[in-house]
Amino acid sequence: MELDRYRIRDLLGALANSRTELRSLGRSRQEHLEWLRQLIDPRSELERRFLETLAAGGYRLPDDAQKAIADPRCVVDFFYDPNVCIFCDGAVHDQLPQVEQDHQIRAQLLGRGYRVIVLRYDQDLGEQLARYPEVFGQGN
């Protein structure tokens, strides 16, 4: 039996340039993205932009959105298992009472072993993602 490497050249080239994507909770990447879109706060432009940037750039999608944490009692915008909390801070987070509340909750999260990443509305989203390749991946 002879093996003709030229007959499988295109297949091997496609395999070499392919990308493996993990399924999240049994969902394809597109299904998971749609599920996350349904969970985001409809008033938050930054949450929407964050998801769209992740999707378009080939970044790793969060495992959950609007995740309730029991202690300290809070809801994080996005969550990566096992312990990464993502907060999308719009302009309301610049107001003094909110700044103090955010600081207190986030300090408590850190004290309980969570990793806290804050994405700001007034900074370039791509640059912010690039600071955390271990969380979001390298993208395309």
Give the model confidence (pLDDT) of 36-72 as tens digits. Answer: 999 999 999 999 999 999 999 999 999 999 999 999 9
Q: Is residue 117 part of a domain?
A: yes
Query: How many domains does the chain divide into?
Result: 1
Instruction: Read off the pLDDT band of 15 (50, 70, 90).
Output: low
Cα(102)–Cα(88) distance, integer angstroms? 11
> Given this model, what pLDDT does residue 23 score?
40
Q: Is residue 56 part of a domain?
A: yes
- Two tokens at 36? 């996350």
Number of neighbours of residue 111 by Cβ within 10 angstroms: 9
Q: Is residue 109 part of a domain?
A: yes
> Given this model, what pLDDT does residue 7 score?
74
Q: Between residues 11 and 84, which one has the greater pLDDT?
A: 84
**Domain coverage including residue 74:** 9-136
Q: Between residues 103 and 1, which one has the greater pLDDT?
A: 103
Write out the DSSP string of 35-93.
HHHHHS-TT-HHHHHHHHHHHHHTPPPPSEEEEEETTTTEEEEEEETTTEEEEEE-GGG
Strand 84-89 relative to strand 115-120, pairing? parallel
Give me the CATH number covering residue 80: 3.40.960
